[in-house]
Amino acid sequence: MEKRRRVLELCVDAGETLLANGAEIYRAQQTMELIARSYGAEHFNAYVLTNGLIASIRLEGADEHAAVRNTPRVDMNLGRISAVNALSREIVAGTVTVEAAFARLAVIRAMRGFPGWMMALASAVAAACFSFLLGGSVLDALTALAPGFAVGLFTCRLARTRAPLNKLVSNMLSAGVVALVSVVCVQLHGMAGLSCDLDKVIIGGIVSLMPGIALTNGIRDVANCDYLSGTIRAIDAVLVAAGIALGVGIVLRAASLVPGVYL
């Protein structure tokens, strides 16, 4: 009884960690099945959705035991996904006991990402690179450093709030920060007699907000016949894009009403 409960709990914890950090549906389900089978499960079923999972196990001839877990999205950390995959391979190889696996999984779940200043710096560099790649000049790319850095700091701050904002609202605010800083920088360049393309600066800044992983995983889920989860991820990507568009549009509309500001 105790072993069955612990194995099921380990499977569910591993699946939850994968889902919460952006893994595909099939990866979470396959990992759970491999772990259960490696610890002697005679019968194991898992039903995985984008934000939750259900699993049942029968071990050593006992009755089936089931678990349901809600899985809200946390800060995405692909390093955790890689670490869980590595742990599952060691479990399959038979080199990790159940309790040792729990200890390893606890360490993986506690893994932290890069510090906020580094994320903000990466966001700034990404904004400059994308601005240049999408047709901007060198000046446009250098200007995009400011909104990229600003939105990086802003999103890191939002992630640390005790009561997380709705995804649509948070993306709208983040895109608004990009647009606001971009407008200010372009106006300052204009006062200095420099010509800068506002569109290219804003585009570079908002690229880091685009739901690339959600959209890609949605397509992969549909390709793997996980139609419900794929649809959920696609809707999630559309809502993120809508929030970005609203945030930029509202700021640009407000800026156009300010005397002396030319967009």
Of 62 and 79, more confident: 79
Alpha helices in 162-226 (DSSP H): 167-191, 198-206, 212-223
More confident residue, 116 or 38: 38
**Contact predicate 200/136, CB 8 Å:** yes
Q: Tell me if 261 is assigned to some domain.
A: no
Among 109, 137, 167, the domain-final residue is 109
139 and 85 in a common domain:
no
User: In this structure, are 47 and 120 located in the same domain?
Assistant: no
**Whole-number pLDDT of residue 61:** 64
Cβ proximity of 181 and 121 under 8 Å = no
Please state which of the ranges 58-72, 115-129, 203-217 shows the lowest mean pLDDT. 58-72
- Predicted TM-score (pTM) of the model is 0.78
pLDDT at 62 over 80: no
pLDDT for position 223: 83
pLDDT at 63: 67
Residue 14, in any domain of the structure: yes
Q: Which structural domain range is residue 62 located in?
A: 2-109
Confirm whether 49 is domain-assigned. yes
User: Based on the structure, what is the number of domains in the chain?
Assistant: 2
Same domain flag for 34 and 120: no
CB atoms within 10 A of CB 159: 14
- Give the model confidence (pLDDT) of 145-177 as tens digits: 999 999 999 988 887 776 667 788 888 999 999
Half-sphere exposure of 124 (CA within 13 A, CB side): 15
Closest CA to 178 of 221, 158, 149, 157: 149
In a domain, 263, yes or no: no
